C-alpha cells in the first residue's frame, strides 16, 4: 500500500479509537438510536451528539465532500480507509441525513455557489434536517405527473399543492421539493426548489403504517412564499436535478441490503446451530450479501469517477431491496415464535417484527421495484418499451 495511505490509516485508527465514545460502538437497538440532527435534535443517548459533533467538526460526516463546503476533502482511497476503520471499531453512523445522501450531491452538481455555502456546511454538521417533496397522491410511480404548482410572483413563487409519503416531514427543518412551473410540458415544466418547513402555509400529517411506526407524512402547501433564489438549476429544468438525486436515493436504499458486520444476529443464529435448513439459507444469504457488497463498492467507485451507467442505481436499488427483505425474513425465522411478540421490553417492543414489516415499504420507496425493472429492461438490456 502507498506509504501515505498507510500513514493515513494509522492516524485515522488512532483518532477513531480516541474520539468514538464506547456507547457509539454498540449495535443500534432501534430507529430511536439513529442520529438525525436538525434544529430540534432528539438524542436517545448524549454520546450521539458528541459523536456527531466530533465527526462533523472534522468533516467526516461527509468525508469526500470538498472541505470548503464542510466536508473532509478526502480522496476516494482515504474515504474507503475511513469506512473500513469505522467498521473495524463498529462505529455507528454519526449522522443520518437526507441532506447528505440525496440533496448534497444534487447541490454539488447543480447548486449556485451561494446555495452550496448556505446549505452544505450545515448539512455536514447536522444542523439542518431535510425531507423530500417528490411523491403526490396522483403522482408516485409517474413522478413527472406531479401537480403541486409554483406560480411566478416576481422575485418569489407561490407554492400550492400536496405531497405524500414525505419521510419525517413532521420533524424536518427544510424540504427539497419538485413543483410545476409550466403546465404545458410534463417533464419540461418542473422546477426544483428549497424552502423552510416553518414557512407560513406548510403543514404535515403523519401516516400510520402497519409496523406501528410512522416515518411518513402527508404534506400540504397553502400559498407558501418561496424566494426564486431558492430554486436549484434553471426554471423548468428541475427534472434533471430530480433524476440525478433519485440515483443517489436509490444508492442509499440499496445500502440496506449490504453485507452486515460481525454483530449481525443472523450470523449469531447460524453459529448457535439453528435448524440445518435455516442454517443453509443463512449461509446462502451471506454469500449473496457479500457479493452485493463487492458490487456496491465497485459501483460507488464508478459513480464517483463519473463512469457509472445511468441505470445502475436502479439495479442496485432493486437487488438491495430484495436482500434486505430476505434478511429480515430469515431473522424472523431464526427467532421463532419469540419474534411474534409485539409489546414487551424483552423484545425491545417488538423491534424484530416491526423492522420486518418496515421492509415491505422498500419495494415502493424511491421508485417501485416494477419501475426499477422497467428501467433495467430498457436502458441496460435494451428491450423494447
131 phi/psi in degrees, rounded to 5: -130, 170
* 101-132 per-position pLDDT tens digit: 999 999 999 999 999 999 999 999 999 999 99
Sorted by sequence, the CB contacts under 8 Å of residue 169 that are 6+ apart come out as 131, 163, 175, 197, 204, 217, 219
Q: Which residue has the cell 453485507?
A: 259
H-state helical runs in the chain: 3-19, 46-58, 76-89, 98, 104-110, 113-124, 238-254, 265-271, 276-304, 312-335, 351-358, 369-379
CATH for 5-96, among 1.20.120, 1.25.40, 1.10.10, 1.10.540? Answer: 1.10.540
- Arch. (CATH architecture) of 130-236: Beta Barrel (2.40)
pLDDT of residue 343: 77
Q: Which residues pair with 252 in a beta bridge?
A: none
pLDDT of residue 38: 96
Flag residues of the chain having pLDDT under 50. 261-262
pLDDT of residue 352: 84
Cell readout for 124 is: 455536514
In this structure, the number of other CB atoms found within 10 A of the CB of residue 320 comes to: 25
pLDDT of residue 258: 61
Cell readout for 189 is: 415544466
Q: Which helix (H) or strand (E) holds 232?
A: strand 231-232
Residue 61 contacts residue 195 (beta carbons within 8 Å): no
In this structure, the number of other CB atoms found within 10 A of the CB of residue 291 comes to: 13
3-state SS, residue 131: strand
In this structure, the number of other CB atoms found within 10 A of the CB of residue 237 comes to: 17
Residue spans per domain, the chain: 5-96, 130-236, 256-381
pLDDT of residue 262: 46
Residue 175 contacts residue 130 (beta carbons within 8 Å): yes
CATH topology of domain 256-381: Butyryl-CoA Dehydrogenase, subunit A; domain 3 (1.20.140)
- The vertex-147 CA angle with 228 and 110, nearest 5°, equals 40
Write the burial class of residue 118 (CB in 10 Å: 0-12 exposed, 13-18 middle, 19+ buried): middle
Residues 12-20: contacts with CB under 8 Å, at least 24 apart: 12/81, 12/82, 12/85, 13/85, 13/88, 13/89, 15/58, 16/85, 16/86, 16/89, 16/91, 17/89, 19/51, 19/54, 20/51, 20/54, 20/86, 20/89, 20/91
Write the burial class of residue 344 (CB in 10 Å: 0-12 exposed, 13-18 middle, 19+ buried): exposed
Cell readout for 52 is: 456527531
CA distances from 193 to 30, 47, 182, 238 (A): 33, 35, 14, 8
Q: Looking at the annotation, which residues are catalytic?
A: 249
Strands 130-133 and 174-180 come out as: parallel
Amino acid at each position: 500500500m502507498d506509504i501515505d495511505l498507510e500513514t493515513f490509516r494509522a492516524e485515522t485508527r488512532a483518532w477513531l479509537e480516541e474520539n468514538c465514545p464506547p456507547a457509539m460502538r454498540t449495535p443500534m437497538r432501534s430507529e430511536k438510536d439513529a442520529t438525525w440532527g436538525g434544529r430540534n435534535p432528539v438524542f436517545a443517548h448524549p454520546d450521539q451528539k458528541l459523536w456527531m459533533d466530533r465527526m462533523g467538526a472534522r468533516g467526516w460526516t461527509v468525508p469526500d465532500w470538498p472541505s470548503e463546503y464542510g466536508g473532509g476533502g478526502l480522496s476516494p482511497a482515504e474515504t474507503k480507509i475511513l469506512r473500513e476503520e469505522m467498521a473495524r471499531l463498529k462505529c455507528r453512523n454519526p449522522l443520518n441525513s437526507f441532506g447528505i445522501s440525496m440533496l448534497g450531491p444534487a447541490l454539488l452538481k447543480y447548486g449556485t455557489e451561494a446555495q452550496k455555502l448556505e446549505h452544505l456546511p450545515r448539512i455536514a454538521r447536522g444542523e439542518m434536517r431535510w425531507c423530500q417533496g417528490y411523491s403526490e397522491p396522483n403522482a408516485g410511480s409517474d413522478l413527472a405527473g406531479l401537480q403541486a404548482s409554483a406560480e411566478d410572483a416576481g422575485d418569489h413563487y407561490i407554492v400550492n399543492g400536496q405531497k405524500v409519503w414525505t419521510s419525517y416531514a413532521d420533524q424536518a427543518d427544510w424540504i427539497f421539493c419538485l413543483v410545476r412551473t409550466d403546465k404545458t410540458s410534463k417533464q419540461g415544466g418542473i422546477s426544483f426548489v428549497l424552502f423552510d418547513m416553518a414557512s407560513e402555509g406548510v403543514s404535515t400529517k403523519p401516516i400510520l403504517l402497519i409496523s406501528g411506526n410512522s416515518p411518513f407524512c402527508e404534506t400540504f402547501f397553502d400559498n407558501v412564499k418561496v424566494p426564486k433564489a431558492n430554486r436549484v438549476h434553471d426554471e423548468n429544468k428541475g427534472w434533471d436535478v430530480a433524476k440525478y438525486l433519485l440515483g443517489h436515493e436509490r444508492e442509499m436504499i440499496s445500502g440496506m441490503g449490504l453485507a452486515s458486520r460481525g454483530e449481525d444476529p443472523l450470523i449469531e443464529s447460524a453459529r448457535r446451530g439453528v435448524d440445518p435448513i435455516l442454517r443453509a439459507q443463512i449461509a446462502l444469504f451471506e454469500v449473496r450479501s457479500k457479493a452485493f457488497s463487492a458490487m456496491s463498492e465497485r459501483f460507488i467507485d464508478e459513480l464517483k469517477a463519473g463512469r457509472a451507467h445511468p441505470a445502475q442505481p436502479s439495479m442496485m436499488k432493486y437487488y438491495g431491496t430484495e436482500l434486505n427483505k430476505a434478511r429480515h425474513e430469515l431473522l424472523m425465522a431464526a427467532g421463532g415464535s419469540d419474534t411474534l411478540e409485539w409489546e414487551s421490553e424483552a423484545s425491545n417492543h417488538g423491534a424484530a417484527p416491526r423492522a420486518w414489516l418496515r421492509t415491505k415499504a422498500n419495494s415502493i420507496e424511491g421508485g417501485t421495484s416494477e419501475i426499477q425493472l422497467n428501467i433495467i429492461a430498457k436502458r441496460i438490456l435494451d428491450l423494447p418499451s
